């Protein structure tokens, strides 16, 4: 859709790993950056001033929108009880009470209540919350395909279409990562809730995915939920589907030690090796979490330039562990960031957690610079979502911008030349003042222009799902 060209004047802008003062950014009628002019000391007539540090729009490379309904609820003390009922990984290891596996049972209960209409309302509010946090593009790892019990909707992609419509309504770019999810664990059929995730087999998944036509600027990609959720002999079907369309491919990888142990038992190799053996690693692939890897796994991922999406706030919330982000980066894997379960939605928090978690593990500082972390939150994230021209402030790139205040109680006193460091290591989503998507001012002075009362929208959508 063509837009009226708009010009923005950034008090400071992060361009090519450098903070530059007084930058004029002009968008064209297609929502792309036409010109970038540093050194314009005052906003010219008609230009919209953006006070603070303006970044390329942030990219949230891994989202499960419906998990937002668990915020707070999942933080309550876990009840004592039996281990989860899933085959395979559920019974592995010691007592799983209060672990990822018990959290997942609560998540399944929410998933079972969703309809296309209620999912649209929730996702619209969640994506609006993301826009308020400076996020301009999101990758939705989508496996809620069918009605409870596995009944097919008249439109087999009704749930995916609801997500696409929600993103449009909230003014953010969506990459719909349509996810193949066929089993409860290695060799186990889907459980009662998981039947709504499953298409039966990978070929049926591909036929349904072929019919996706969300329109607008939505990018359609593919995902395998995990190697425990898709039989090994069907993995290549999903990878081939993505490869044939030049689409991004994502997969949860080694989030839990139990998954690794069960994969070794059933296949005699790690999940990473299994993916490699089926041709699923490479620059178009993003492995999410990658928390529990062997040295050989890291070499496989890095040597194939497979991307890694770290989700630190979820990984710590679920007690998953700290992933080897530094080793993966050094091996050749680009790192992106996601808010995953939405314990919080704050890409600045995700970014600094990559460095701060590494400090806790090693007892040393200085593994990542602020500029490297901003690259993960912008350019690498957009690339992981099939948007390789995003994540930069340069002519020809999408005019997607996020402005973070430098005068809040967290960032006040910042020296302009150290604005990136201040924003990454002290700023939060609450400091985002402006978000521009495709040249369109979606968040202005901290207020969403399309969803005027985001907290109320979130409350209503979450309350509708409470049992």
In this structure, is the dihedral angle defined by the CA atoms of residues 418, 423, 426 and 430, taken in order, positive or negative? positive
Percent of the chain scoring above 70 in pLDDT: 93
Q: What is the pLDDT of residue 88?
A: 39
Three-state SS for 203? Answer: helix
Q: First-to-last CA distance in the chain?
A: 41
How much is the average pLDDT of 347-355?
98
Helix axes 419-426, 347-362, angle to 10 degrees: 80
Among the residue ranges 84-98, 189-203, 440-454, the one predicted with the least confidence is 84-98
Question: Residues 6 or more apart from 412 whose CB is under 8 A from it?
Answer: 406
What was the pLDDT predicted at 413?
Answer: 97
* Torsion angle of the four alpha carbons 287, 248, 62, 10, in this order, in degrees rounded to the nearest 10: 120
pLDDT for residue 96: 39
Q: Catalytic pick from 289, 292, 367, 434? A: 289
Distances, alpha carbon 207 to alpha carbons 157, 178, 180, 221, in Å: 11, 12, 11, 14
What whole-number distance in Å separates Cα of residue 48 and Cα of residue 323?
41
Residue 271 tokens read as 């999940």
Using the predicted structure, report yes or no on whether residue 127 has a pLDDT greater than 50: yes
Q: What is the mean pLDDT of the chain?
A: 93
Contact present, 12 and 54 (Cβ < 8 Å): yes
Based on the residue annotation, tell me whether 317 is a catalytic residue of this protein.
no
- The mean pLDDT of 300-308, rounded to a whole number, is 98
Give every CB contact of residue 100 below 8 A, 6+ residues apart in sequence: 255, 256, 318, 319, 320
CA separation for the pair 24, 48 (Å, rounded): 10
pLDDT at res. 84: 37
The residue among 75, 119, 90 whose CA lies nearest residue 313 is 75
What are the residues whose beta carbons fall under 8 Å from the beta carbon of 339, sequence distance 6 or more? 60, 62, 63, 130, 311, 313, 314, 345, 346, 347, 350
Q: Give yes or no for residue 163 having a pLDDT over 80.
A: yes
pLDDT of residue 85: 35
Q: Out of 340, 346, 400, 431, pick the active-site residue.
A: 340
Q: ∠ CA 126-145-115 to the nearest 5 degrees?
A: 60
Question: Which residues, in sequence order, are CB contacts of 177 under 8 Å at separation 6+?
Answer: 139, 140, 141, 142, 221, 222, 223, 248, 250
**Separation CA 90–CA 106 (nearest Å):** 15
Chain-centre distance of CA 7, in angstroms? 29
Q: Are 312 and 61 in contact (CB under 8 A)?
A: no
Place 466 in a pLDDT band, splitting at 50, 70 and 90.
confident
Contact 435, 132 (CB under 8 A): yes
**What pLDDT does 105 receive?**
75
Angle at 99 between CA 309 and CA 340, to 5 degrees: 25
- Cα distances from 136 to residues 127, 143, 294, 466, in angstroms, run 9, 22, 34, 29
Coil, strand, or helix at residue 411?
coil
Tokens of residue 415, six digits: 């020296």
* Whole-number Å distance between alpha carbons of 16 and 146: 44
pLDDT at site 326: 98
Q: Is 199 a catalytic residue?
A: no
Among residues 172, 180, 329, which one has the least CA distance to residue 241?
180
- pLDDT-derived band at 80, boundaries 50, 70, 90: very low
Strands 307-310 and 335-337, bridge-based pairing: parallel
CA distance 68 to 107: 10
Predicted pLDDT at 73: 75
**Rounded average pLDDT over 259-271:** 97
Phi, psi (5° rounding) for residue 447?
A: -115, 130
pTM (2 decimals)?
Answer: 0.94
pLDDT band at 78 (very low <50, low <70, confident <90, very high): low
400 has a pLDDT exceeding 50: yes
| 20/105: higher pLDDT | 20
Kindly indicate the confidence band of residue 92, based on its pLDDT and cuts at 50, 70 and 90.
very low
* Res 372 pLDDT > 50: yes
């Amino acid at each position: 859709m063509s837009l009226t060209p708009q010009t923005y004047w950034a008090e400071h802008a992060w361009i090519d790993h450098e903070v530059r003062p007084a930058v004029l950014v002009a968008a064209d009628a297609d929502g792309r950056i036409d010109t970038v002019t540093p050194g314009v000391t005052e906003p010219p007539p008609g230009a919209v001033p953006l006070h603070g540090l303006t970044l390329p729009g942030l990219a949230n490379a891994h989202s499960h929108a419906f998990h937002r309904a668990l915020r707070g609820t999942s933080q309550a003390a876990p009840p004592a009880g039996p281990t989860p009922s899933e085959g395979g990984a559920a019974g592995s290891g010691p007592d799983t009470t209060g672990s990822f596996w018990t959290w997942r049972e609560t998540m399944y209960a929410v998933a079972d209540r969703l309809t296309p209409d209620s999912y649209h309302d929730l996702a619209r509010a969640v994506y609006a919350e993301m826009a308020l946090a400076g996020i301009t593009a999101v990758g939705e790892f989508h496996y809620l395909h069918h009605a409870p019990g596995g009944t097919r909707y008249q439109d087999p992609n009704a749930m995916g279409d609801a997500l696409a419509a929600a993103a449009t309504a909230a003014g953010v770019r969506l990459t719909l990562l349509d996810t193949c999810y066929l089993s409860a664990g290695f060799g186990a059929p889907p459980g009662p809730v998981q039947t709504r995730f499953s298409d039966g087999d990978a070929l049926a998944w591909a036929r349904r995915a072929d019919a996706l036509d969300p329109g607008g600027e939505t990018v359609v990609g593919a995902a395998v939920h995990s190697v425990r959720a898709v039989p090994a002999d069907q993995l290549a079907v999903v990878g081939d589907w993505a490869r044939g369309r030049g689409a991004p491919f994502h997969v949860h990888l080694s989030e839990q030690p139990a998954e690794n142990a069960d994969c070794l038992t059933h296949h005699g190799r790690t999940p990473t090796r299994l993916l490699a053996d089926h041709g699923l690693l490479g620059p178009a692939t993003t492995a999410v979490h990658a928390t529990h890897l062997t040295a050989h796994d890291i070499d496989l991922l890095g040597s194939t330039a497979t991307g890694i999406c770290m989700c630190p706030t979820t990984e710590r919330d679920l007690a998953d562990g700290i992933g080897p982000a530094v080793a993966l980066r050094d091996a050749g894997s680009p790192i992106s960031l996601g808010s995953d379960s939405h314990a919080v939605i704050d890409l600045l928090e995700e970014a600094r957690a990559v460095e701060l978690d590494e400090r806790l593990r090693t007892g040393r500082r200085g593994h990542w610079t602020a500029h490297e972390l901003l690259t993960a939150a912008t350019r690498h994230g957009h690339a992981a979502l099939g948007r390789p021209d995003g994540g930069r402030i340069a002519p020809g790139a999408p005019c997607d911008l996020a402005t973070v205040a430098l005068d809040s109680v967290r960032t006040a006193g910042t020296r302009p030349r150290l604005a990136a460091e201040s924003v990454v290591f002290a700023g939060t989503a609450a400091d985002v003042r402006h978000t521009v998507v495709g040249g369109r001012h979606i968040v202005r002075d901290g207020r969403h222009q399309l969803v005027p009362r985001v907290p109320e929208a979130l409350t209503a959508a979450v309350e509708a799902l409470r049992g």
